[in-house]
Amino acid sequence: LANVFNDYIKLRNKERSELKERANSDALTSISNRRAIEEFIKGKLSDKSSGGALIFLDIDDFKSINDTFGHSAGDGVLRCVAEKIRSSFRGSDFAGRFGGDEFIIWMDNVTLNNAEFIKERINGLMGTAETEGVKIGYTLSAGITFKCEGDDYEKIVTRADRALYARKKSGKSGCSILAAPQ
- DSSP one-letter string for the chain: -HHHHHHHHHHHHHHHHHHHHHHTB-TTT-SB-HHHHHHHHHHHHH-TT--EEEEEEEETTHHHHHHHH-HHHHHHHHHHHHHHHHHHS-TT-EEEEEETTEEEEEEET--GGGHHHHHHHHHTT-EEEEETTEEEEE-EEEEEEE--TT--HHHHHHHHHHHHHHHHHTTSSEEEE--S--
d(CA 164, CA 108) in angstroms, rounded, equals 20
Which of 60, 93, 101, 161 does the annotation list as catalytic? Answer: 101
d(CA 78, CA 63): 12
Active-site residue flag, 67: no
> Which sequence positions are flagged as catalytic?
101
